[in-house]
Amino acid sequence: MRKILISETLDEIRVAIIDNSRLKNFFIDNNSEQISIRGNIYKAKMHPNAKGIEASFVDIGFGQSAFLSNLNPLKEEIGDDGVDTHKIVKNDFIMVQGISDYDSRKAPKVSNFIALPSKFCVIISKPGFLGISKKINDEKERKRLKSLKKMVTKNSGIILRTSSQNETIKDIQGDISKTKKKWREILTKFKENKSYGILHQEDNIIDSILREFLTDTTKEIEFNSRKTYNYFKKNLGKNKNTTKLRIVNKKDDMFQQNKIGKDIEKLFHKKVNLKNGSFLIIEEKEGLTVVDVNSGRSLNNTKESNLSVNIYAAKEIAHQVILRNLGGIVLIDFIDLDKRTEKNKLFNVFKKAMRVDKAKHTILPMSKFGIIEMTRQRKGARTSTLVSESCHVCYGSGLVTKKEIVCYELLRKVITKHSSNKKKKIEINIHPNLIQTLNTIIEKNQNHEDVKNLNIQIVEDSSINNYKMI
């Protein structure tokens, strides 16, 4: 059973997905100044030396070049049944879609393969093509879905997502028609816009949740915003009879009430303690992630074997990989196993635990050094990057909680305290490094009902780590 929690503080939105009482996904959006191009569609200007080159750079309008790749991000999802990239080019312009964002060392990456996702389908820039997710393996169902071939046009192709399985043809057709209309609007913009720039903005976090996580198993959604509640109520579709919507008091912490507050805090710790006494160390580096399995007290206090400890850890590692949205290369250093049969059993357990992952991944059998290697296609940013940044004290060798995250946490507490006594002045002692960020957030939300009547006094205090409420 799935439960979704949507908590809003001013212009920050936090979303938790709970399956069977366990935190499965966590998202946060606070409209930070960081530019994200992932999923956005652009009219890009080709560099003068780009013609005829398989991979080159283009300008998408941010004053910085983006790396153009012929990568097809959906090929692995639907198999090798003829999918290729399709270039939409006009004069010196090309249509591209963001794959990865800017960082301090690399230019953002874009692809000339365009994919416009919706609930049941993906409209792609390959005319005349119909693909079906390879996760739909029932031949009778695949044959039924192939009847939608007639909806393919000369302007685009269609990929039917896993979510289309067992849905009515009418509902799928409606979804395809709506998405094709959006696609035609993008094509029109591309033809009519005289300069390069953005053509389509990726869905916001609310629309993404509606699209990706609202399923038949979703039994309850909690909100602390009437506006978002009404938006979901309007767009529930067939789930309106099975999904309960509930508004909670703004001063209530729905994450704590649903007993996932500590789980969210642990999300950003390197060390993950397991109930059997063992623990994991998860080190996220720029090029890869390393997971180390440690027996801890498990082998000392019980009769557990190395294999049983590893199996227990493997299931948690799969959970953490998905929850933290780890991508790229992941190396897992398990406790040494001597027997090949045990190594094979562990490999199969881990592979099975990863089956629930929506992202494409490849897992290699355990090496002779006791390491399982995997690659994973990350969708969106790593969870850790949403809430942490390089430490200004250790010159980037460590991570600290982002200033925006700390300030929104502070404002949540201030708003809650103010709601119980609106006349009382609230004094805040705050570290100087946070003052500018706090003032920016307050100024940005100055007309918000929770901000405009606040009676607060801000005092600089370099002796504390973050803040202290008086």
Domain count, the chain: 4
Q: What percent of the chain has pLDDT over 90?
A: 34
Residues 235, 356 within the same domain: no
The verdict on residue 40 lying in a domain is no
The verdict on residue 416 lying in a domain is yes
> What mean pLDDT is reported for the chain?
83
Residues 348, 419 within the same domain: no
Residues 427, 448 within the same domain: yes
Give the pLDDT confidence score for residue 82 in this predicted structure.
Answer: 40
The verdict on residue 45 lying in a domain is no
Residues 195, 223 within the same domain: no
Last residue of a domain, which of 156, 181, 201? 201
List, in order, residues 6 or more apart from 97 with CB less than 8 Å away.
Answer: 39, 40, 41, 42, 110, 111, 113, 114, 115
Last residue of a domain, which of 177, 201, 225? 201
Residues 341, 290 within the same domain: yes
The verdict on residue 460 lying in a domain is yes
Last residue of a domain, which of 201, 225, 242? 201
Give the pLDDT confidence score for residue 105 in this predicted structure.
Answer: 62
Q: Classify 356 as helix, strand or coil.
A: helix
Residues 353, 410 within the same domain: no
Bin 363: left if φ > 0, else alpha if -120 < ψ < 50, else beta.
beta
Give the span between the Cα atoms of 416 and 250, in whole angstroms: 8
Environment class of 355 (CB within 10 Å of its CB; exposed 0-12, middle 13-18, buried 19+): exposed
* Poorest-pLDDT segment among 43-57, 98-112, 130-144, 455-469: 43-57
Would you say residue 343 has pLDDT above 60? Answer: yes
* Poorest-pLDDT segment among 151-160, 331-340, 399-408: 399-408
- Look up the CATH number of the domain holding residue 338: 3.40.630
Residues 195, 210 within the same domain: no
Residues 147, 121 within the same domain: yes
Residues 188, 58 within the same domain: yes
Would you say residue 179 has pLDDT above 90? Answer: yes
Residues 72, 97 within the same domain: yes
pLDDT level of residue 81 (50, 70, 90 thresholds)? very low
Residues 63, 175 within the same domain: yes
Would you say residue 314 has pLDDT above 50? Answer: yes
Per-residue pLDDT averaged across 26-45, rounded?
80
Would you say residue 449 has pLDDT above 90? Answer: no
48 compared with 440, residue with greater pLDDT:
440
Give the pLDDT confidence score for residue 78 in this predicted structure.
Answer: 44
The verdict on residue 396 lying in a domain is no
Hey, which residues does 429 pair with through a beta bridge?
A: 459, 468
Out of 7-21, 54-68, 281-295, 343-357, the most confident range is 343-357
H-assigned helices in 16-157: 75-78, 139-145
The verdict on residue 127 lying in a domain is yes
Give the span between the Cα atoms of 279 and 439, in whole angstroms: 40
- pLDDT tens per residue across span 45-58: 887 655 554 557 88
pLDDT level of residue 84 (50, 70, 90 thresholds)? very low
- Look up the CATH number of the domain holding residue 254: 3.30.420
Q: Which domain holds residue 13?
A: 2-32+206-261
Hey, which residues does 66 pair with through a beta bridge?
A: 58
Residue with token string 């903005």: 201
Per-residue pLDDT averaged across 147-155, rounded?
90
The verdict on residue 394 lying in a domain is no
The verdict on residue 38 lying in a domain is no
Q: Read off the pTM.
A: 0.77
Residues 58, 188 within the same domain: yes
